[in-house]
Amino acid sequence: MVAIGTNAPDWGPVAMENLFAPAPPAPAAVLQAAARLKGMAHRTPVLRSSTADERLGAQFFFKCENLQRTGSFKFRGAFNALAQFSDDQRERGVITFSAGNHAQALALAARLLDMPALVLMPETALASKMAATRDYGAQVLTYNPLTEDRQAICQRLALERGMTLVPPSEHPDVIAGQGTAALELLEEVPRLDLLLVPVGGGGLLAGSLLAVQAQGMPCRVVGVEPEHANDAQQSLRAGQIVQIPLPRSTIADGAQAQALGPLTFGLIRQHAQDIVTASDPDMVQAMRFFAERMKQMVEPTGALAFAAALAESAGLDLRGTRVGVIVSGGNVDLPRYARFLAD
């Protein structure tokens, strides 16, 4: 049996992508997650930039999840999920697959809750993210993303060890926890016209949509993907999940997803106003802005949302609006980061 979260039914040996019944979290789940995370996750700052406001003719409010524990918003979802484990699940431990940020987040959450953690990471994962995951106490196994199926490997290991799977996005407790970043932003800045959210696996966007509903605000929510990894944009426009080949031509390593899951897609399809894209040069421009003007180290995926604001190709009409921007993470190898800023 592969246990998925709390009170999971016996799914049996089915495909990983079909492990979740169509039972998305309600907006109230984000409020419950916020209470669960109080004192555990950082309430990250909302920063302003007069330069950004003047340059783009809007008011920007940057929710800096690059300053979150483990360096990204992922800690929110991981801790919210693991905190609801039964005693038996805690004893057996947790397993996941991740290229880095969810890996680190789950490893720390498991350590804080005193349970074993096993993380399956691609051989191509950034060295800094793999090292941090081990430092937080998780066992790390690697796979070749071009020749091996991470879902099949993870399912087999979960069955063999009796561990509970908590994937990076496609999990109701993860989605609810990730939505607390947007919830905090909306609590601090209650009259936003637009919220820009990076999209990889879709959990942050789905959770942000729930947070907007929980606050009862007429705020438009737009997701942002890399232009060469735009499976969610294609899916939203097609009205069904579209799977793309493994994206390898984008610097946004945290957004190299091939397809949304049914849980995240259902929420995004129902509530998101649009999904736009940003190019690698747009992300580098945004990273430079954060470094030079705001003194913030932000990874490419973390810069996605603001990159769309800077990119004319995204087609966003921002003049005169109040715009929330989720800066989703700051985990980047220092030599790689230096090259981005120097090029």
Specify the long-range contacts of residues 49-53, CB closer than 8 Å, at least 24 apart.
49/289, 49/293, 49/294, 51/289, 51/293, 52/289, 52/293, 52/306, 52/309
Domain range for 181 is 27-72+173-342
Q: Where are the alpha helices (DSSP H) in 6-114?
A: 27-37, 50-56, 74-82, 87-92, 101-112
Q: Is residue 59 part of a domain?
A: yes
- The model's pTM is 0.92
Per-residue pLDDT tens for 78-99? 999 999 999 999 999 999 999 8
The pLDDT of residue 3 is 41
Strand-pairing partners, residue 60, are: 323
Assess if residue 293 is contained within a domain.
Answer: yes
Residue 18 predicted with pLDDT over 70: no
Per residue in 228-268, pLDDT (tens digit) is 999 999 999 999 999 999 877 899 988 988 999 999 999 99
**Catalytic-residue membership of 98:** no
Q: What is the pLDDT of residue 85?
A: 97
74 is catalytic: yes
Q: Supply 292's token pair.
A: 């030079």
Tell me whether residue 210 is in a domain.
yes
Asked if residue 273 is part of any domain, the answer here is yes
Q: Looking at the DSSP assignment, which residues form a beta bridge with residue 118?
A: 95, 139
Q: How many domains does the chain have?
A: 2
> pLDDT above 70 covers what percent of the chain?
94
- Asked whether residue 249 is assigned to any structural domain, the reply reads yes
Judgement on whether residues 79 and 196 belong to the same structural domain of the protein: no
The pair of three-digit structure tokens given for residue 37, joined into one six-digit string: 């995370």
- 193's CB contacts (< 8 A; 6+ apart) are 219, 220, 321, 322, 323
Given a cut of 90, whether residue 124 has pLDDT beyond it is no
Least confident piece of the model among 40-44, 247-251, 257-261, 269-273: 247-251
CA distance 222 to 194: 7
The verdict on residue 42 lying in a domain is yes
Residue 19 lies in a domain: no
136 and 102, same structural domain?
Answer: yes
Active site residue: 49, 63, 74, 169, which one? Answer: 74
**Is residue 165 within 8 Å of residue 89, measured between CB atoms?**
no
Q: What is the CATH number of the domain that holds 140?
A: 3.40.50.1100
Any domain includes 126: yes
Q: In whole angstroms, what is the distance from residue 307 CA to residue 125 CA?
A: 23
- Regarding whether 182 and 54 lie in a shared domain, the answer is yes
